[in-house]
């Protein structure tokens, strides 16, 4: 009797369990990365001559979410359990995925929407990294350098490129059923669809919401710091800022940094250039912006 093949999850766990498997692990992840890139090329997801209608948007969204599932499971486990050189594979995934999205011309909605699967992977890996307090991995997820054609073709942290593309199509996410009146429809949708897979693999229970919020807060802080702006991508934590008082997700992270000071783990891995002063400056500017939301 033939032994059934391992699932993607079983295979990646086995490869991650022994550092001697680094070549096999790289080959395995590369295989699924290739499959994803082939399945989402412009031949399958045309960016020209395709009507920008609600039904087409929702259909394309569902297809992206289905196609990215195997790679999503892979990055979750890489972010949670990957050590040393294994983290380099995670960086390779994000770097390689973004290369295929640069220098494309076509209908604005469909060009920008190609970044949506990348964002799914960033959220998934980011939440997984935070579940283990692996801030060095979080740094990879937010700051992998990628080409950015909209900013003089500079190489910028991936959070900047993804944010700039997804923000440009913010209103399209209001086409999602039951999200028409939400302040952050994309964030609300991601919160719902990522939960089952993350729970299946990490079993984090009620801490999921806190970790989701934390990832969005770090995304906003890193974006604002890199771009030297008092704005960052606002997620579900935005409407919690005034509703939850000082116990909101943003303030909780800021207060943790103030309490631990230079020993705060994100600073020790080089985020915000390792400077508490720099972090506090950007967090203060963002805090003032969020306080004016009045959601």
In a domain, 184, yes or no: yes
Within a domain: 3: no
The first and second tokens of residue 195, run together, are: 């939960």
Greatest Cα-to-Cα distance within the chain, rounded to the nearest angstrom:
66
- pTM over 0.75, yes/no: yes
The number of CA neighbours under 13 Å toward the Cβ of 113 is 27
Q: Which domain holds residue 30?
A: 8-291
- Give the chain's domain count: 1
* 115 within a domain of the structure (yes/no): yes
HSE (side-chain half, CA atoms, 13 Å) at 71? 30
The two tokens of residue 191 are 């919160």
DSSP string, 62-98: HHHHHHTHHHHHHHHHHHHH--TTHHHHHHHHHHHHH
Query: What is the 3 state secondary structure string of 123-159?
Result: HHHHHHHHHCCCHHHHHHHHHCEEEECCCCCEEEEHH
Instruction: Examine residue 1 and state whether it is found in any structural domain, yes or no.
Output: no
283 part of a folded domain = yes
Within 13 Å and on the Cβ side, how many CA atoms surround 14? Answer: 9
Assigned domain for 2 exists: no
Residue with tokens 């039904």: 55
Give, for all 295 residues of the chain, the pLDDT tens digit.
344 457 999 999 999 999 899 999 999 999 999 999 999 999 999 999 889 999 999 999 999 999 999 999 999 999 999 998 898 999 999 999 988 776 677 899 999 999 999 999 999 999 999 999 999 999 999 999 997 655 556 789 999 999 999 999 999 999 999 999 999 999 999 999 999 999 999 999 999 999 999 999 999 999 999 999 999 999 999 999 988 676 799 999 999 999 999 999 999 999 999 999 999 999 999 999 998 887 8
Question: What pLDDT is attached to residue 115?
Answer: 96
| Of residues 127, 123, 157, the one with CA closest to residue 140 | 157
Would you say residue 12 lies in a domain?
Answer: yes
């Amino acid at each position: 009797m033939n032994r059934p093949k391992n699932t993607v999850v079983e295979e990646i766990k086995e490869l991650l369990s022994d550092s001697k498997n680094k070549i096999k692990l790289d080959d395995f992840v590369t295989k699924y990365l290739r499959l994803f890139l082939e399945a989402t090329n412009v031949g399958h997801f045309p960016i020209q001559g395709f009507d920008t209608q609600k039904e087409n948007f929702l259909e394309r969204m569902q297809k992206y979410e289905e196609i990215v599932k195997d790679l999503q499971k892979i990055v979750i486990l890489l972010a949670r359990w990957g050590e040393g050189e294994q983290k380099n594979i995670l960086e390779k995934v994000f770097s390689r995925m973004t290369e295929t999205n640069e220098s494309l011309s076509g209908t604005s909605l469909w060009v920008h929407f190609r970044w949506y699967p990348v964002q799914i992977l960033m959220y998934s890996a980011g939440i997984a990294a935070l579940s283990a307090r692996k801030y060095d991995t979080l740094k990879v997820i937010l700051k992998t350098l990628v080409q950015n054609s909209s900013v003089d073709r500079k190489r910028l942290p991936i959070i900047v490129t993804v944010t700039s593309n997804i923000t440009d199509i913010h209103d399209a996410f209001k086409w999602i059923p039951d999200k028409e009146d939400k302040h952050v429809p994309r964030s609300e949708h991601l919160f719902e669809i990522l939960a089952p897979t993350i729970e299946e693999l990490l079993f984090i229970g009620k801490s999921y919401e806190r970790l989701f919020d934390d990832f969005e807060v770090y995304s906003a802080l890193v974006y604002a710091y890199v771009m030297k702006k008092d704005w960052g991508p606002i997620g579900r934590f935005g409407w919690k800022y005034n509703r939850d008082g000082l116990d909101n997700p943003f303030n909780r992270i800021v207060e943790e940094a103030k309490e631990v000071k230079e020993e705060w783990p994100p600073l020790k891995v080089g985020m915000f250039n390792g400077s508490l002063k720099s972090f506090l400056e950007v967090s203060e500017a963002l805090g003032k912006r969020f306080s004016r939301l009045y959601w």
